[in-house]
Structure 1
């Protein structure tokens, strides 16, 4: 992790310092400064061999990457650009996108672009290797297209990026990469260009994400198909279609995960002090009787019988 600021050098040298500093970790670009007499900027940079996250603040500046620069200094990776304040304008592939807080975009460094940051803008820039997006998105990344990060899955992505920065002093490289992997996985689902609710590839992604979400939140008594769909940024119909393809429903999947959780705790010696009622509430069931009925239907024995059998074994 490193922090740099133009305050380190004389005002007349600051534009040169900034161009050189950004160029030390980004491929060749052009820089056009609105003011050259006393440019101000600062970066906080976290990086490993896989990912890089930079929080950047500066006076007004325009970055550009020409076709010649793309050829001479190739970089096929992407930058996830998330404004925190101000406005950023991105032009790429004959599209112009105006970004403000709560929005974001994916910019390809494998194609020419222009990026104008106003004097009040601060932003996160997450560098993502091309292989992490091109495969999952089938090379259909939404270049210079605005992503709504104000709610649902988009807000989860934005929050995770902010948390990566906030916890920068306490994360190992392995932990940083693990969280970044997760961000990219969620981003692929969110930014997939083919979001038709009946698209088979999309439904497979939805099913995978839903199963993981249910496993992580099964103990929440408020978990329903509707609340899950809202949090993940999909419609309830999309979630239902994804699970219908594999023979289940949101309600059945949630119940199955809760029963699995109870069974694991019944077999865990550290949970022997918990009563069946305790286990029911701790696993998302409304009552011990509701748990017992569902458990017997699923496993052929009551929770108490399974616990006793485990003690005798």
Structure 2
């Protein structure tokens, strides 16, 4: 990314970041006018793309991407995508929350994410209001957050995915979009219920009023089965908690149970098959005594 300054002024400002599981939250404060530019030559040809959701706390943010131009102020939200060129401008003194989340965490491809870029969300009602309020709280009190970082990350991801799903339904009644909206709804639903031992593909399909075969078809478009995706999400939650020193007081088996993986040997085998190392070894190599 290029940061463009006005004339020869110094880029005075502050940046504070927090990692909540698979989500990065940055609180940025600076004096405008400023521009953040991602030119085409700086877009990597390969690698996992990310979505960036911006929530102004003070000041305004102008975003240009995918042929659209959107302007937001608190409590509004706006989205950028790292896989294509964009420009974000802050015309005055500003303070904002910048959330970075991988496409895979919200169940979107880069092409699908193009439907959301540079489109303001009101931030005053519905799911957008919930996400806006959460980001405002992180912006104001993020420095004080020391525990439950994975749960906070899960909340941000879940609300973001649900918000994209809600917006997707507004765009068209195309069957492909309907399937993608269902995918986002399912992912948000599952992440909120990982600890439930009865959570599986059948119960998920039933709760969303679709057949198991249809649910499998939706996931097949993303190269995975719903059962495998649920298992991988459980293991990813466990790995995040094993890496968190604030959770070192919890036995390894309990870490598995918190994500719905019951039985110490069963959990250990699944974790080793997925990551090539047992949960206990993973925690020890992270540096836990």
Q: If the length of structure 1 is used for normalisation, what is the TM-score?
A: 0.51
Instruction: Tell whether the 8 Å contact from 1:85 to 1:122 is kept in structure 2 after alignment.
Output: yes
Over alpha carbons, which structure has the higher Rg?
1
Distance 1:163 1:107 in 2: 21
Q: What corresponds to 1:129 in structure 2?
A: 102
Structure-2 change in CA distance of 1:129 and 1:53 (3 Å): same
Q: What corresponds to 2:40 in structure 1?
A: 67
Structure-2 change in CA distance of 1:117 and 1:73 (3 Å): farther
Alignment of 1:103 with 2:76, yes or no, is yes
Q: Which runs of 5+ in 1 are unaligned?
A: 1-28, 213-242, 247-313
Alignment of 1:186 with 2:158, yes or no, is no
Alignment of 1:173 with 2:146, yes or no, is no
Q: What corresponds to 1:6 in structure 2?
A: none
Runs of 4+ aligned residues of structure 1 deviating over 4 Å after TM superposition are: 72-75, 193-209, 243-246
Question: 1:2-49: per-residue Cα shift (whole Å, max 9, x none)?
Answer: xxxxxxxxxxxxxxxxxxxxxxxxxxx111112534442012211156
Q: What corresponds to 2:131 in structure 1?
A: 157
Q: What corresponds to 1:30 in structure 2?
A: 2
Question: 1:46-68: per-residue Cα shift (whole Å, max 9, x none)?
Answer: 11561110111101211101111
Aligned pairs (5 A) from 1:76-87: 76-87=49-60
Distance 1:169 1:113 in 2: 31
Q: What corresponds to 1:249 in structure 2?
A: none
2:19 paired residue among 44, 47, 50: 47
Aligned positions, number: 189
Q: CA deviation at 1:110?
A: 0.5
Instruction: Tell whether the 8 Å contact from 2:51 to 2:100 is kept in structure 1 after alignment.
Output: yes
Q: CA deviation at 1:159?
A: 1.1
CA RMSD of aligned residues (A): 3.6
Distance 1:148 1:69 in 2: 31
Structure-2 change in CA distance of 1:176 and 1:36 (3 Å): farther
Structure-2 change in CA distance of 1:175 and 1:35 (3 Å): farther
Structure-2 change in CA distance of 1:179 and 1:49 (3 Å): closer
Farther-moved stretch of structure 1 (189-198 vs 100-109): 189-198
Q: What corresponds to 1:17 in structure 2?
A: none
Distance 1:36 1:245 in 2: 60
Distance 1:197 1:153 in 2: 21
Instruction: Tell whether the 8 Å contact from 2:5 to 2:35 is kept in structure 1 after alignment.
Output: yes
Distance 1:138 1:147 in 2: 20
Distance 2:184 2:72 in 1: 27
Distance 1:174 1:142 in 2: 26
Q: CA deviation at 1:164?
A: 3.5
Q: What corresponds to 1:115 in structure 2?
A: 88
SS state at 1:97 partner: strand
SS state at 1:71 partner: coil
